[in-house]
């Protein structure tokens, strides 16, 4: 698969756009994504909400799996675990996802989430269900 093919398969959706998530890097089984945490991302305690970190980590894990899958397949999250290690500051937050095991029906990925200074904020692990893309499922049903 060429870099162009990989980039076309690993794309962001409407949720990512609304959340301000950017795709920084794509390689086979690996992605880097980022967002800039702003005031609207804070919880009542004045810290970046854990859901913002979890959403970014889920995106990194899921897209890393997508970057490892054969064309015609996609992934959906079955389980996500996030260990929060430090409070996230406002500003740039980057998640680096890597697919560790990709099978025909399930996949496993991890992501590290860091702030702009490189401080490890969270570590996530996800299990994903592998499915045929909608067009592939319809084509196979004929």
pLDDT of residue 3: 64
pLDDT of residue 8: 73
The answer to whether 56 touches 63, Cβ cutoff 8 Å, is no
pLDDT of residue 82: 99
pLDDT of residue 142: 35
Please report, for the domain that includes residue 51, its CATH number.
3.10.129.10
pLDDT of residue 141: 42
Residue-wise pLDDT tens digits, 99-113 = 999 999 999 999 999
Query: Please, which residues bridge with residue 48 across strands?
Result: 42
pLDDT band at 13; cut points 50, 70, 90: confident
Task: Count CB neighbours of 128 within 10 A.
Answer: 27
Residue 20 has pLDDT above 60, yes or no: yes
With b meaning 16 or more CB within 10 Å and e meaning fewer, what string describes 44-55? eeeebbeebbbb
Query: Please, which residues bridge with residue 114 across strands?
Result: 94, 120
Q: β-strand 106-115 against 120-132: which pairing, if any?
A: antiparallel
- Boundaries of domain holding 118: 3-140
Q: Give me the number of domains the chain comprises.
A: 1
Task: Count CB neighbours of 11 within 10 A.
Answer: 11
What pTM was estimated for this model as a whole? 0.90
Is pLDDT larger for residue 24 or for residue 135?
24
Residue-wise pLDDT tens digits, 43-82 = 999 999 999 999 999 999 999 999 999 999 999 999 999 9
pLDDT of residue 81: 99
Tell me whether residue 70 is exposed, middle or buried, using C-beta atoms within 10 angstroms of its C-beta: 0 to 12, 13 to 18, 19 or more: exposed
């Amino acid at each position: 698969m060429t870099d162009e093919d990989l980039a076309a398969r690993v794309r962001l959706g409407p949720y990512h756009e609304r959340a301000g998530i950017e795709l920084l890097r794509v390689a086979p089984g690996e992605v880097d994504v980022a967002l800039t945490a702003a005031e609207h991302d804070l919880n009542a305690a004045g810290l970046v909400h854990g859901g913002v970190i979890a959403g970014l980590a889920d995106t990194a894990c899921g897209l890393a799996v997508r970057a490892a899958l054969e064309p015609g397949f996609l992934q959906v999250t079955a389980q996500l675990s996030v260990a929060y290690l430090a409070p996230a500051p406002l500003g740039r937050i980057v998640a680096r996802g890597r697919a560790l095991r990709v099978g025909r029906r399930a996949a496993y990925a991890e992501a590290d989430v860091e702030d702009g200074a490189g401080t490890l904020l969270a570590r996530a692990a996800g299990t994903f269900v592998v499915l045929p893309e909608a067009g592939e499922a319809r084509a196979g049903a004929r």
